[in-house]
Amino acid sequence: MLKKHQKKTGTSSYSSFFNCIEKNFDKATKFISIEKGLLEQIKACNAVYRVHFPIKLGKEIKVIESYRVQHSHHKLPCKGGIRYSTKVNQDEIMTLAALMTYKCAIVDVPFGGAKGGIKIDPQTISIEEIEKITRRYTSELIKKNFIGPGIDVPAPDYGTGEREMSWILDTFLSIKPEDVDALACVTGKPISQGGVRGRKEATGLGVFYGIRELCKMKKDMSSIGLNVGLVGKKIIIQGLGNVGYYAASFFYQAGAIIVALAEREGAIYNEKGLDVSEVILHLKNTGSILNFPKAKNIENTEKALELECDILIPAALENVINKNNADKIKAKIIGEAANGPITPEADEILEKKGVIIIPDIYLNAGGVTVSYFEWLKNLSHVRHGRMEKRFNENMNSELLQVMETTCKKKISPDDKKIILRGPREIDLVRSGLEDTMISGFHTIRDLKISLKIQNMRTAAFVLAINKIVDSYEKLGIFP
């Protein structure tokens, strides 16, 4: 944990990012009566591994700084993404690991929280060099027993994706070929390497399900002067990476109006709406979202957050909504797709303005939920749905025949097709994700109402802490 006297940042008066999360945790403990020592244990990071290693980049030897933090061992394995960014530091990785613990508890994924990070800019080094660094980092984790199907299972995060997860798996397999469960040492892999269908879009889709659920609540919507439903709602999304891109696509398909998209180099705006796939095509062709023919450029990308809209979705980095801009935010709903995008001071300002914030520890849990499905698939060594698909189709077919004979009526071939179809892996993954996000939303909302908690973030923390406490109490504390 960083010391209280450490330098404060320009955007927050808290001493560190970890300190911000502690503040949110402490707010929640007012609604829980549990022994102080146990709460301190839940808050603390159990294990922090920082490793520097040399890599030859071109003709030079560079020292690479990297981390893996296991925040909680109340359930094993630990689980959490790995990010590649020049901003990676111990405080950031500790905080993100802590968020993972609470996130897993909220969505009933039986893992402790973890996070990893390598301090590099993947955009300025070659793919071969990223591969070298990824493989070396993995072998450092193996040396210290910080990775393994039952120990700690990484996944993608900011700056990483399927490609890096494949390299991690391959490195693990080459060192531990005898481990029959090795595929489960990392999630977010390509399908051909043991990945699960639906993982790539899972976080963005989870964000969509969570916000859609709020927008169905008549009482909540009328409290902020909005109609129920997503159709016609004006949305701004910051970050068009894995999470932001998929979230934007699902909202667009559901009839919402994407009025602005913000990236590193600037933002684009069109009051009438942006076609997400056209913007992506433009990005692929030109290397930037700027100068999209059907939109206006906004050079200062941060200003996009302050534009008129109903829903704002930060899906890039932490602390982007802070005491400097919170007052200027016009959105009525903020969906935290990124981890920690709102500082505690901004949280208070927005709460006074009546903005509904759907917190990261619930809203972006879709990724870890589907990672859990991938881990289960790898441990069971069989694709989800493989055993039951044909059986279900045969059963449905017999049922249809009985119905047709009994009712003396033929069912149309189109209807038959829908009824007969047995579940594919993608169907099972998506329905598991949808159910998780819907029930997570209502559990938090019901708790918020029953305990008269001011906001969803505190209610989500109360829910998470109660579940972790329950786990500790049932396990007992090892002497």
Residues contributing to the annotated binding site for NAD(+):
203, 242
Give the 3-state secondary structure of residue 302.
helix
**Considering 115, 119, 189, 377, which one is annotated as catalytic?**
115
- On whether the CB atoms of residues 313 and 247 are closer than 8 A, the answer is yes
Starting at the earlier edge strand, list the strands of the sheet with 333-335: 296-298, 266-269, 257-263, 234-238, 311-314, 333-335, 356-358
For the segment 50-69, give every residue that binds ligand NAD (CB under 6 A): none
> Residue 263 CB, nearest distance to ligand NAD (Å)?
5
Q: Is 369 among the residues that bind ligand NAD (CB under 6 A)?
A: no
Separation between Cα atoms, residue 85 and residue 63, nearest integer Å = 15
Q: Is the peptide bond before 77 cis (omega within 30 degrees of 0)?
A: yes
Does residue number 339 form part of the binding site for ligand NAD (CB under 6 A)?
yes
Residue 267 and residue 29: Cα distance in Å, rounded?
A: 39
Q: How far is the CB of 339 from ligand NAD (least distance, A)?
A: 4
364 is a contact residue toward ligand NAD (CB under 6 A): yes
Number of residues in contact with ligand NAD under rule CB under 6 A: 25
Task: Identify the helix (H) or strand (E) that includes residue 44.
Answer: none
Alpha helices in 162-275 (DSSP H): 162-175, 202-216, 218-223, 242-253
Q: Are strands 47-57 and 60-70 parallel, antiparallel or unpaired?
A: antiparallel
Element at 75 (helix H, strand E): none
Among all chains, which residue has been given the structure tokens 């909005």? 226
- 338: contact with ligand NAD by CB under 6 A: yes
Contact 373, 194 (CB under 8 A): no
Among 264, 328, 352, 417, binds ligand NAD (CB under 6 A): 264
Q: Which is nearer to ligand NAD, 317 or 453 (CB)?
A: 317
Which residues does the annotation place in the binding site? 79, 103, 203, 242, 371
Chain CA centroid to CA 167, Å:
22
Binding mask 370-409 for ligand NAD (x = CB under 6 A): ----------------------------------------
How distant, in Å, are the alpha carbons of 149, 196, 274 from that of 173?
A: 12, 19, 44
16 sits near ligand NAD (criterion: CB under 6 A): no
Q: Is 101 in the site for ligand NAD (CB under 6 A)?
A: no
Choices 179-187, 217-225, 234-242, 428-436 (CB under 6 A): range interacting with ligand NAD: 234-242
In the region spanning residues 190 to 209, those forming contacts with ligand NAD, defined by CB under 6 A, are 203
Residue 379 near residue 180 (C-beta atoms within 8 A) = no
For ligand NAD, the closer of residues 101 and 242 by Cβ is 242
Please give the residues from 313 up to 332 whose contact with ligand NAD meets the rule CB under 6 A: 315-317
Q: Is residue 233 annotated as part of the catalytic site, yes or no?
A: no
CB of 161 to ligand NAD, least distance (A): 7
Give min distance, CB of 166 to ligand NAD, in A: 16
> Is residue 25 within 8 Å of residue 19, measured between CB atoms?
no
Rounded to 5 degrees, φ, ψ at 384 are -55, 130
| 263 binding ligand NAD? (CB under 6 A) | yes
Q: Which of 235, 153, 228 is nearest to 188 (CA)?
A: 153
Q: Which residue stretch of 34-42, 213-221, 238-246, 470-478 sits at the interface with ligand NAD (rule: CB under 6 A)? A: 238-246
| 305 scored as a contact of ligand NAD (CB under 6 A) | no
DSSP-assigned states of every residue in 11-26: TBSSS-HHHHHHHHHH
Using CB atoms, what's the residue nearest to ligand NAD?
241
Positions touching ligand NAD (CB under 6 A) are: 81, 156-159, 203, 238-244, 262-264, 301, 315-317, 337-339, 364, 367
Please identify every residue annotated as catalytic: 115
